[in-house]
Chains A and B, each alone.
Chain A
Amino acid sequence: MQMSGAQMVCEAIIAEGVKTVFGYPGGAIMHVYDEIYKQKGFKHILNRHEQASVHAADGYARATGEVGVAMVTSGPGFTNAVTGLATAYMDSIPLVVISGQVPSQLIGTDGFQEIDAVGISRPCTKHNFLVRSLEELPRVLKEAFYIARSGRPGPVLVDIPKDITVDIGDFEYPDSVDIPSYKPTYKGNKRQIEKAVEAIKLAKKPLLYIGGGVVLSNAYELVREFVEKTQIPTVETLMARGVLGAKNPLLLGMLGMHGNYASNMAMSETDLVISLGARFDDRVTGKLSEFAKYADIIHVDIDAANIGKIVEVDYPIVGDVTEVMKKVLEQMDDIDTDRYEAWRNILKRYDELHPQSYVDSDEVIKPQWAIERIGELIGEDAIITSDVGQHQMWAAQHYPFDRPRQWINSGGLGTMGFGFPAAMGAKMAFPEKTVVNVTGDGSILMNMQELVTAAEYKIPVINLILNNHFLGMVRQWQTFFYEKRYSETDLSFQPNWKALAESCGGIGYDVTTKEEFDAAVKDAIEQDKVCFMNVIVNRFEDVLPMVPSGGALFNMMLPQKIDEEGK
């Protein structure tokens, strides 16, 4: 069929089953936008900043497991999208970002709004393409979606010169992809899996350590079955919250810098780490020489480069968690769960000794209370996104996550400003679900222009601003490690949040008491409009426990209450 390059882009998006595209037009991508105007196959959301478009597509991808699509123009349109690409790259999120480029004959001349997009995005995409001819466009689009979602997923950039979107040629969207140099490994090595199973059966203190790869691989049911069958205690990384479900008695909690006591002690004392889709990030391991010091390590990862990168691995298994766990489960029928009984009891005692806790107050709202409360009010079905900082950690620690893809946050790159647009992406994918962005008074301002977008398209996400008038996480480090010199972290000067939200077509709430909190949440759900919920919380609240950067996991700063009771 004869059509323009711009039409091919739209046809490919439709063929890939994408329902919502987020973007922002401009000179080099105008021809594609002209086709978007004419088509009916997908909806386009006009964000008010390209960064937000990519984060929204990212939120859509994380909530659904499908490829998210964003579209931007050349030059500044593309450079604004870079933070979004890097965010998705660090968390292995499947995205296809389509950017306009100056016409082919202008490339290399420093043309208006020309920038080397493939050059800039090379280190923050899984792969990228500069389309050289109309003939290769259908194949490139097909490969972009395939590469984004297969193997270890990631963002792919397709940079299309304007003339190629104008030219008319033959379009046949390929059914399949054949890239001889790209063949991801899904099935784990049979012999290695057998050895790992053997090690699990011989261990006395095994610990299941699950990461974002379990979410990406949609392996949570298999992992839950494994835990049920083996009764092995489990820790989750920030990216894996919800995989096991908060109610599961074998879930110790989150580990790492802000992990709970039992989780970090478990990692310090285990004799066998079973790592599934986790990559031993420095925020998880703390001081490497003390990390899992007494343990052998089984490492299942689809990306061979993750294995042996940080820690020495005894049982490397390159493969998809789903495929590997299927084989592991087949060999688990004769498992003796009593074998780990003593170990479970030790960990139970650790958790009783120092549970995840905080001191509540009647005078001021504690941020942890706000998280727990919203968990009670909106239930297990909601989707929670977050920005980056203290509020993110409190949400990860205290929200009762019950399923994967319920918790959406920028873990690897730690991008402030991610939460609001990501929440919009998730809400577009699941309009029937309540979507809350847990944010802070610092982060929210980094993409607050999206109030306009959310109001225009009626994307009713709740922005729960835990407002401590500080860049709280930096402030916390300044308190602990910089002798309370609060350099550039005091946010006492604030916008009128309610008026700000209202001026953009949303709703604002100012909340200072628990009663007001409940009322605001109830009203926000009923009103079904985008809102800023400005919750004034305890100013100097710290995220605890905390393992100081570079310290051993077992050296935690613990909440005050626990210390007092310990005495």
Chain B
Amino acid sequence: MGTLTNERRVISVIVMNESSVLARITALFAGRGYNIESLTVAPIPNSDMSHITIATKGSAKIMEQITKQLHKLIPIYKVVEHEEMVEKEMVLAKFPIAESLADISVLASAYNGGVVNVGKEMIIVMVADEPMRIKHFIEASQRYNPCEIVRGGVVAIER
């Protein structure tokens, strides 16, 4: 790991399901001047815990502080700074119906997704892929004049 490089890292945080636990985490990032690139939260099935995935940037030293400071929060059960992971992000994108629907459909399936809704005026696609590929999808989609793109934030699991 580089020492001063501003490396992108993904951290999984397992927390007890209780009120304001998310506020504690975001307040910690804000108060200590760490960045949050994306953040997702959902309950872990059949447990009283939730899984929070945070994508962030910083040097190795800052990463160490982030994981240690997170771990100090009382309702945080476990903090994993991912090394070898499978990482995915889901994106919903809305295009005008006048655009080439076939092209859009092909584009979406090329990025591991497809058309999920077609209305009178809009077509909505969903893709789910690695963050770098998601970036490419968003770039490629620009030529079809997307009206709205909603990114879901990354989720990750250690390999």
Binding site for B on A (CB under 8 A): 118-119, 122-123, 126-127, 130, 132, 147, 179-182, 303-305, 308-309
Contacts and interface: CB of A to CB of B under 8 A. Distances in A.
The residue among B23, B31, B68 with the most chain A CB atoms within 10 A of its own CB is: B68
Given A122-B27, A123-B31, A181-B75, 11 more contacts: A122-B23, A123-B27, A127-B73, A130-B19, A180-B77, A181-B74, A181-B76, A305-B65, A305-B69, A308-B61, A309-B65
B99 interface: no
Contacts of A182: 74
B159 interface: no
Nearest to B72: A305
Nearest to B78: A181
Given A122-B24, A308-B61, A127 B74 contact: yes
B15 interface: yes
Nearest to B28: A123
Contacts of A309: 65, 68
B80 to A, nearest CB: 14
Interface residues of B, number: 21
A304 B68 contact: yes
B104 to A, nearest CB: 43
B124 to A, nearest CB: 35
A145 to B, nearest CB: 13
Contacts of A181: 15-16, 74-78
Interface of B: 15-16, 19-20, 23-24, 27, 31, 61, 64-65, 68-69, 71-78
A180 B14 CA distance: 12
Closest 5 CB pairs of A and B: A305-B68, A181-B77, A127-B74, A123-B31, A182-B74
Nearest to B15: A181
Given A123-B31, A147-B74, A181-B16, A308 B24 contact: no
Contacts of B69: 305
A182 B69 CA distance: 13
Contacts, number: 38
Nearest to B16: A181
Nearest to A312: B61
A334 to B, nearest CB: 35
Contacts of A132: 19
15 contacts: A119-B23, A122-B20, A123-B27, A127-B73, A147-B74, A180-B16, A180-B77, A181-B16, A181-B76, A181-B77, A304-B68, A304-B71, A305-B68, A308-B61, A309-B68
A127 B20 CA distance: 11
Contacts of A304: 68, 71
A429 to B, nearest CB: 28
B95 to A, nearest CB: 40
Contacts of B15: 181
B134 to A, nearest CB: 32
Contact of B20 (A123, A130, A180, A308): A130
Contacts of A118: 20
Contacts of B16: 180-181
Contacts of B74: 126-127, 147, 179, 181-182
A309 B65 CA distance: 7
Nearest to A307: B68
A559 B135 CA distance: 63
Contact of A308 (B23, B64, B73, B76): B64
A126 B75 CA distance: 11
B27 to A, nearest CB: 5
A303 B65 CA distance: 12
A262 B61 CA distance: 32
A122 B77 CA distance: 18
B92 to A, nearest CB: 31
Contacts of B73: 127
Nearest to A124: B31
A121 B99 CA distance: 52
A122 B64 CA distance: 22
The residue among A118, A179, A181 with the most chain B CB atoms within 10 A of its own CB is: A181
Contacts of A130: 19-20
Contacts of B20: 118, 122, 130
A182 B77 CA distance: 7
A355 to B, nearest CB: 39
A413 to B, nearest CB: 15
Nearest to B27: A122
Nearest to A128: B20
Nearest to B66: A305
Contacts of A179: 74
